[in-house]
Each structure stands twice: as structure tokens, then as C-alpha cells.
Amino acid sequence: MFPLPGKSSEIEDKSFRHKNTLQIDGRLISWDKPQLMGIVNLTPDSFFEGSRAEKSLEKVAALASSHISNGASILDLGGYSSRPGAAEVSVQEEIDRVIPAIKWIASNYPDILISVDTFRAKVAEEAILSGAHIINDISAGDLDRDMIQTVANLKVPYIAMHMRGNPQTMQKKTNYSDILGEILYYFAEKLEQFRKFGIIDVIIDPGFGFAKTLEQNYFILRNLSQFQSLSLPILVGISRKSMISKALEINAGDALNGTTALNMFALCHGANILRVHDVKEANETLKLYNTLYP
């Protein structure tokens, strides 16, 4: 778990914090090694059945406890499936899915960081007020015009992902002339916007599988180190995604070995956070990485 050295001093300017620190609840949280984010899907239709814990606090408790005991320092809770072609969910239904889970985890594991996977400002606000710590937005503010101001008001870390369109249309928006340059430019523009609003704790996510073809996903992964030029933490979420199952001609249920291989590659090329379904195996990967690079 992250060391918590106590309250940080007030930040005077609008620059982003160092990539190995985050400020949460007035505490400056730092880490020197990559971290694991365990996925808790509170949806009935997320693409990997093993991550689903919908409509049951008993399932949430079991999955969250397993993730934590296996080495996750962050839990990422989502009440809206963002897989290609996923069904629309109302704001209230998303809130009803995530809030009880947040409250249970915050009550039973107060030292664990809780991230909420949402692109809606109202859900983000309710989540933070219920005990969550981080907002993980697949649209980086593009799908809800109130999101960036809300995150700024809440003074919480913001995970900004690259995507085009929305979960229903993104796979039709994969035409790039220079995909790496365009994504880096996208983040540069977003970071300037965040800076103006006063958001200083930002994590970037290249958005594997979101508005990208199979070949584009692997091109971005090969060039992951280029994102270090932004001097911010890099989150990589490739766990059991179609970029693995399609390349190996298998289904998501059989994609653990491929996930492990690509997670090690991502760590070796600059990933600071791995977002994963299988925390035990990811933690073993991380331990071997730390042995290679002590």
C-alpha cells in the first residue's frame, strides 16, 4: 500500500503534481513502484464475466476482498459497461449500482483507494461524497461538459483516457493519420484545459480498445514510453481485452496468459498502474518486474 506521510503543503500554482504522488483527502500519497488497480464491475454486461459483482454486496465483498488480499492498492468500480456497443444506462441506475459498493468498501477497507469508472459528473460527485477517492473518466470530460469543473471542485485525482465518440460509436472512429502524435496532442490539449480549471492530480490512460483497431492498439503499446514525455502517471488497461483474444484467436475467458505477457511489456515500457481483472497473477508479474528492476 502507498505510504501516507501526512497532510501536504498547499500547492500555490496550477502545475501538475509529480508523477509519483497524488493528493487525496489532504494527504500526499506517494509511490516509487507501479501499482495494481483491481476491476470491480457492477454491471450485468461487462465483457468479462469474472469481474462482475452486480446487484449483490456479497459479491462485491468477495471480489473486493480477493483483489485486496492479492495485492491491489486501488479498486476501480464501474456501473456502466463501456465495451463496444454496450447498452445505455440511466444516471440514477449507475448511481444505484456504485454507491452501496463504495460505502461498503470504504467502511471495511478504509486504507484502500477507490476509483469510480464514470464519465458522468453527477455520478462522480455522488461517488466522492460516498467515500471514493479518484474519478476514472473514459472520455476525459468530453461526454459530460460538467465533469471537469466537478473534478476541480472535488479536488480529487482524475484519470483521463483517450477515446473518440462514445461506447456505441467508438469503433467507427479509428481513422488516424498519425495515431501516436494525435493522442499525444489530445492529451496536451486536455492537460492545458485541466490546468486552467485547477486540476493538478492527473493520470493518463492511452485507451486501449477505445476507437482503435487491433494493429493500432499494438502500435501504441510498442510506443508506450512516448507517453512518459507528459511526466504524469500512465495507466494501462489491457486485461483480457479483444486486442489479446483476437490476436490469439481465443475468448476473453482464456486471455489471462496473454494479459500477463502484455502487462510485463507495459511495465517495462513505463506503465505506473495496471488495471486488471486478475490481481494475483498481475501481482506476481509485478514482483518479477521489481526483481528485474529493483
Q: Considering 164, 196, 275, 280, which one is annotated as catalytic?
A: 275
Q: Considering the domain 31-292 in this protein, what is its CATH number?
A: 3.20.20.20
User: What single-letter DSSP state applies at residue 75?
Assistant: E
pLDDT tens digits along 139-189: 999 999 999 999 999 999 999 999 998 888 888 999 999 999 999 999 999
275 is catalytic: yes
How many Cα atoms sit within 13 Å of 214 on the Cβ side? 8
* CB 121 within 8 Å of CB 144: yes
* CB 63 within 8 Å of CB 51: yes
33 is catalytic: no
Q: Considering 241, 246, 280, 287, which one is annotated as catalytic?
A: 241
C-alpha to C-alpha distances, 23 to 30, 85, 119, 226, 259, nearest whole angstrom: 9, 35, 21, 25, 30
Task: Show the low-confidence residues of the chain (pLDDT under 70).
Answer: 1-14, 45-55, 83-86
Instruction: Using only the alpha carbons of the chain, give its radius of gyration.
Output: 18
- CA 186 to chain centroid: 18
Rounded to two decimals, the pTM is 0.90
Residue-range domain boundaries for the chain: 31-292
* pLDDT score, position 16: 84
* pLDDT score, position 57: 86
